[in-house]
């Protein structure tokens, strides 16, 4: 009992230091994840995930590896669907011919640099990289169908609902969908008692249990059970770098007028960021501040996440349970060099302009006009 009180006091003390930030520090998280079934002895999929922040930069690096059995299944899928477009990562999982080289491992990186306005993405299987001006790319990818549909709306930023209006709308959607949710899902959430230590970090735990009906609504129900637990360390002084980066990204997005120039679509995105189920919303808000805000910041350090999916009896007999684990391997605040936020040496630049040009008709509204014209021609009564 005394030990628990001491740990609780330490947890509160660590959390209190978040309000006394004095200087920004570089932050790096290393997480290790595995995916497997209870019917297998080794993981089907492994990842090492590195999140690295400075106040002006962020890099997400994923190192992955697949088991030979999973790689074989992916290769079989592609051979059966030769016209299906796949990423180099998926294409290299299994041999597509007698002379194919098998790589069931690789890495994917994504970098945002606010200080010199660059966005980078790179992938090890193809040895290709993308490097583009960040703000210009954001503007190019912004959905603005009014360019063709209603030019008078192009230069007018779509207004946003107030926080009170959005809260009310979320409550109404939750009330309207409650009857159907009761038939297809059941959700339970609670905070776990006490605290746990993970190395030098102390964490608070939570458990979310979801039952989803994958069968009939009136008969032949088939419930899939997912139990998720996660442990989060409180904010620390060094987290100010993460918040600084997130704040600048959100400010830029707001100044740009949102991800799209459509009021209803921006509101849909904002509402989708917050679950309508109040129980799910409570679980979601354990790692977000301020709660229920579409632009809330993530807080604390994820220490351990486990998930167990229990399938209906027939499927469970064939596959067993699906098990996922993600744990923090290391967290440090050592100063980072700028090379961390560069693409690896030797990667070739990939020109994305042709792909962007193909997207233009969708983003500027031309494709929608063509779509409605084709629908009208199909349903227009024939005369004569």
What the block records as the tokens of 195 is 């605290």
| CB neighbour list of residue 39: distance below 8 Å, 6 or more residues apart | 319, 320
Residue whose pair of structure tokens reads 């890099």 in the numeric block: 59
Q: What is the pLDDT along the chain (384 residues), one digit of tens a residue?
A: 544 454 454 444 444 444 444 445 799 999 999 999 998 888 989 999 999 999 999 999 999 998 876 666 555 544 544 444 444 444 444 333 333 455 788 999 999 999 999 999 999 988 999 999 999 999 999 888 888 888 888 877 778 888 788 888 888 888 888 888 888 889 999 999 999 999 889 999 999 999 998 877 677 778 899 999 999 998 888 788 898 898 899 888 888 888 888 888 888 887 777 777 888 888 988 887 665 566 666 778 999 999 999 998 888 888 899 999 999 999 999 888 889 999 999 999 999 999 999 988 888 888 877 777 777 676 666 554
Of 262, 327, 337, the residue nearest 52 (C-alpha): 337
C-alpha distance from residue 362 to each of 141, 143, 371 (Å) = 10, 8, 10
CA–CA separation, 155 and 146 (whole Å):
9
Can you give the residue ranges of every domain in the chain?
2-65+141-350, 68-103
pTM metric for this prediction: 0.79
**Tokens encoding 113:** 């640099």
């Amino acid at each position: 009992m005394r030990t628990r009180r001491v740990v609780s006091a330490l947890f509160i003390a660590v959390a209190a230091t978040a309000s006394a930030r004095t200087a920004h520090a570089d932050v790096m998280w290393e997480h290790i994840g595995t995916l497997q079934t209870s019917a297998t002895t080794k993981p089907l999929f492994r990842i090492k995930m590195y999140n690295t922040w400075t106040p002006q930069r962020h890099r997400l690096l994923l190192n992955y590896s697949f088991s030979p059995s999973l790689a074989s299944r992916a290769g079989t899928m592609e051979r059966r669907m030769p016209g299906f477009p796949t990423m180099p990562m998926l294409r290299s999982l299994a041999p597509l011919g007698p002379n194919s080289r098998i790589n069931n491992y690789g890495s994917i990186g994504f970098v945002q640099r606010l200080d010199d306005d660059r966005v980078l993405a790179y992938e090890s299987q193809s040895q290709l990289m993308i490097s583009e001006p960040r703000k210009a790319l954001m503007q190019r990818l912004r959905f603005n169908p009014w360019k063709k549909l209603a030019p008078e709306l192009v230069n007018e930023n779509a207004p946003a609902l107030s926080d009170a209006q959005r809260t009310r709308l979320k409550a109404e959607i939750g009330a309207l969908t409650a009857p159907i949710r009761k038939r297809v899902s059941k959700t339970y959430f609670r905070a776990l008692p006490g605290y746990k230590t993970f190395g030098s970090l102390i964490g608070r735990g939570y458990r979310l249990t979801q039952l989803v009906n994958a069968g009939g609504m009136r008969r032949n129900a088939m419930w899939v059970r997912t139990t998720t637990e996660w442990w989060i360390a409180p904010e620390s002084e060094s987290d100010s770098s993460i918040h600084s980066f997130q704040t600048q990204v959100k400010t830029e997005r707001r100044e740009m007028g949102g991800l799209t120039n459509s009021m209803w679509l921006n509101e849909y995105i904002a509402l989708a960021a917050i679950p309508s189920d109040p129980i799910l919303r409570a679980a979601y808000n354990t790692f977000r501040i301020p709660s229920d805000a579409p632009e809330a910041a993530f807080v604390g350090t994820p220490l351990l996440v486990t998930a167990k999916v229990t399938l209906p009896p027939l499927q469970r007999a064939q596959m067993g349970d699906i098990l996922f684990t993600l744990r923090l391997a290391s967290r440090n605040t050592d100063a980072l060099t700028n090379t961390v936020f560069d693409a690896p040496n030797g990667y070739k630049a990939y020109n994305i302009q042709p792909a962007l040009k193909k997207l233009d008709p969708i983003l500027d509204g031309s494709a929608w006009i063509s779509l409605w014209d084709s629908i009208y021609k199909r349903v227009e009564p024939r005369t004569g």
